[in-house]
A and B are shown apart, each in its own frame.
Chain A
Amino acid sequence: MRRYSSLRWKLTALIAGGSIVAAVIAAAGFSLLDLKRFWVRSRAEVQAVGNVVADQAGPAIALGDRKAAGEILLALRSDTLIQTAALYDAGGNCFATYQRVGATGCLSQAMLPASSEGQTIVVSLDVMAGADRLGTLVLSASVPSVPELLWQYSGGVMLVIVMSLIVAGIMGMVLQSRVSAPILEIAKVAQRIAETHQFHDRVTLAASDELGVLVDSFNAMLCEIQRRDTELAQHRKSLEEEVAERSRVNSELLLAKDKAEDATRLKSEFLANMSHEIRTPMNGVMGMISLVLDRCTDAEEREQLLVAESAARSLIAILNDILDLSKVEAGKMTLECIDFELAGAVGESMRIFNSAARQKSLDLQFSVDPQLPAWVRGDPARLRQVLVNLIGNAVKFTSAGIVRIIVENVRTGVARFSIVDTGIGIPAEKLGAIFEAFTQADGSHTRRFGGTGLGLTITRRLVDLMGGRLWADSTIGEGSRFCFELPLDPASPPAQEPAAPTRAAETVPSHLRVLVAEDNPINQKVICAMLRRQNWAVTIASNGVEAWNLFRDGRFDLILMDVQMPEMDGLEATRLIRREEQRRATSQRLPIIALTAHASPAQHEEYLAEGMDSVLTKPINRPKLLDGIYTLTRTAAPALPVA
């Protein structure tokens, strides 16, 4: 523990030091003054003695009484200062002398010091009798030197210093009790508070001087600190409660968020499953309608079938929208990054609506900024999807006039697509809401123009996903303009490929033994009907195991393999087949076409890597199926019998 004696000792030392310094200065000053006074007094004393002696010696000189004069001078023995004295008559002859030390005898006037020098005082006095000068008295006195005098004074100085030290000690003790004691008490309390952090401690000293003010101020400061400490504790407590409450709320919010995310995920999964489950029978419906349409010659029936096919397409489009939205929301939407021709992609998207535009007498126009690179890198499928959505909307909501597609170069690497129509327009207050899911500018539009209200939502999500932005401006009755900008890096055009030969009837295989591995009975029937219409032999397998067994037992020219099947999926079955082919060391590779509802490029790559030769995306119609078989026929011609 720290000792609190330093202040007291400091005070004592200060007082002692001050006292000693003051004593030394005073002693030196007084010594010098005394020395000066001593000199003056000594001179005055010698002068006075001289006067007396001269006065007394006058008659002796006058009477010629040398003996009496010598006796008078001898009386100077009592004065220790006077060393020599000489009495001369009026003629300057030595009359009598006195020397304190040394031989006696008369000294000539020249032998005596002429004047006062150093430690010697010389006084020369005329011996007078009235106005008559009888002679001269010369006195020589010796005074102590300055060091001698100081040495004589040193005893007194030391005494003064000792006394000063004693007084300083006493004053230090008094000050310790009067001054340092309260300060030390304050220091003790301060240290105690620093160790215990208890601010209720107080200094209990009563004083009416500045120290009292200090104590009062210190206590007031402690009061203030204690008050603030209490307030801080209260604040901290309330903050802790608030934090705890917020933590609880946050936990609940996190729980709610997790629940919401779970619900969203479940909803997306549900929607995806439902879409898949609905699309599968719809594929059957489409396929069957397509088959019936191929042979239907009655105009009325054909019209009815076309309406049914259109309705089925609409339903599938809705399902696709729902599926896309679910993928976007679930973050499972993936983008391609391939080189494609920009004008071609825009033109393809626009041409889809040629028929509809003609029916409404709309003028469909499109222009591409020549500054834009012809080939760009991106996801052409998603770009087409966005364009189709926007052009489709423009065509849908425009009854007369123009639908114009303008592609401009905003800056290097960024293209702006504007779809401008002269349609009904969108109210300004609804422009912000049209991109929300399941929202249309006017509820009546759904009834009038159809649609789920998902198109613009998916469109904006896709644009966002591609790193662009989408916006719209519109004037009621004058039309709308939907714009989006996309980052599109320029790409090099691919090397010129030879033109693909058109599919000729003679290139289609005349006879094929096709193994169809499909678990869905409707799809089985549709696919079988399409293949049998070509007079091809069709064998059905309901799962991968059956397909694998049939492959081992029979001979087939082609396998249509559904990817998702019970017991053994199409991928596993394909792997077994390829392995068996390797085991047999046959040179012929059996073509396998994957049938799948999953259309992502990555999955296509995966299927091809597992040993499949090509991929057909459901729903499958007859032209698509035959085209796929034809394409595979060209690449795998040796394995397939060509008509």
Chain B
Amino acid sequence: MRSIAAADSEDELKAATVWLFVQYSQLAPNADGTIAVGVVGRPSFAQTLRHTLEGKMANGHPVKVVELKADLHGSQVVYFAMDKSADLRRGLQSAQPLHALTIGESDRFLEYGGAVTLFIVDGHIGFETNIETLARSGISISSNLLKFGQIKNRTIGPAAR
């Protein structure tokens, strides 16, 4: 695969990073054995993500990308490609009981209850993780990955595996 550094656009960078999180996280597959990555919001990103993830296997499970509207069920990872705070709040609230890994790109994504927010600085992608949210969602992310990003609520119990 091409590395994130070689991504052509910001969406590709973000898609590659999402793919990293899928690979380095412990996700319970669906009944059909797939791991579903749901995209809420911008459809172009859903396309880019599909282009990045389709046909790949994560921990032995095929990965599929689905575009989500209101029902977030059935997705182990939910990417919020939107900036509106109200939508984010609502979406994150609905995702909270699903124990899904929530990834967003809004500056206040973590404040609204998201687990991982992506950002790009000087052409390089970075991420910040809310350990509390991760712990609450019951999803473990490899510390090998987490150590490349920033950690919020570091005092909260371990969420990394």
Contact = CB atoms under 8 A, between A and B. Distances in A.
A59 B3 contact: no
Contacts of A64: 3-6, 124
A105 B59 CA distance: 34
Interface stretch (B17-25, B37-45, B105-113, B152-160): B17-25
B8 to A, nearest CB: 13
A59 B144 contact: yes
Contacts of A89: 3
Given A55-B144, A90-B3, A132-B1, A63 B57 contact: no
B148 A68 contact: yes
Interface in A41-92: 55-56, 58-65, 68, 89-90
Contacts of B58: 130
A180 B36 CA distance: 88
Nearest to B24: A59
A129 B24 contact: yes
Contact of A58 (B5, B22, B144): B144
A61 B22 CA distance: 16
A56 B1 CA distance: 18
Contacts of B6: 64
Contact of A129 (B5, B20, B125): B20
A134 interface: yes
B4 A132 contact: no
A131 B57 contact: yes
B51 interface: no
A63 B56 contact: no
Contacts, number: 51
Nearest to A95: B3
A131 B4 contact: no
A615 B22 CA distance: 173
A62 B57 contact: no
Nearest to B6: A64
Interface in B99-153: 124-125, 142, 144-145, 147-148
A131 B56 contact: yes
Contacts of B56: 130-132
A65 B147 CA distance: 12
A186 B58 CA distance: 88
B144 A63 contact: no
Contacts of B77: none
Given A56-B144, A130-B58, A61 B3 contact: yes
Interface string B37-67: 0000000000000000000111100000000
A63 B17 CA distance: 8
Contacts of A134: 1, 3
Given A131-B56, A131-B57, A60 B148 contact: yes
A522 B31 CA distance: 185
A134 B6 CA distance: 12
B92 interface: no
A63 B148 contact: yes
A58, A63, A132 interface centre (most CB from chain B within 10 Å): A63
Nearest to A52: B144
B16 interface: yes
A284 to B, nearest CB: 173
B80 to A, nearest CB: 21
Contacts of B20: 59, 62-63, 129
Nearest to A134: B3
B84 to A, nearest CB: 28
A59 B17 CA distance: 9
Contacts of B3: 61-64, 89-90, 134
Nearest to A64: B5
B3, B17, B56 interface centre (most CB from chain A within 10 Å): B3
B4 A62 contact: yes
Contacts of A55: 144
Contacts of A130: 22-23, 56-59
Nearest to A58: B144
A60 B56 CA distance: 20
A62 to B, nearest CB: 5
Given A56-B144, A130-B57, A63 B24 contact: no
B125 A63 contact: yes
A214 to B, nearest CB: 76
A132 B124 contact: no
A132 B56 CA distance: 9
Interface in A228-259: none
A59 B1 contact: no
Nearest to A71: B147
Interface string A131-147: 11010000000000000
Given A90-B3, A132-B1, A132-B56, A65 B148 contact: yes
Nearest to B57: A131
A62 B149 CA distance: 13
B63 to A, nearest CB: 9
B25 to A, nearest CB: 11
A72 to B, nearest CB: 9
Nearest to B58: A130
Given A131-B56, A131-B57, A132-B23, 9 more contacts: A59-B20, A62-B20, A63-B4, A63-B5, A63-B17, A63-B125, A90-B1, A129-B20, A130-B57
Interface of A: 55-56, 58-65, 68, 89-90, 129-132, 134
14 contacts: A58-B144, A59-B24, A59-B145, A62-B16, A63-B20, A68-B148, A89-B3, A90-B3, A129-B23, A130-B23, A130-B58, A131-B56, A131-B57, A132-B23
List the 3 closest A-B pairs by CB distance, nearest first. A64-B5, A130-B23, A129-B23
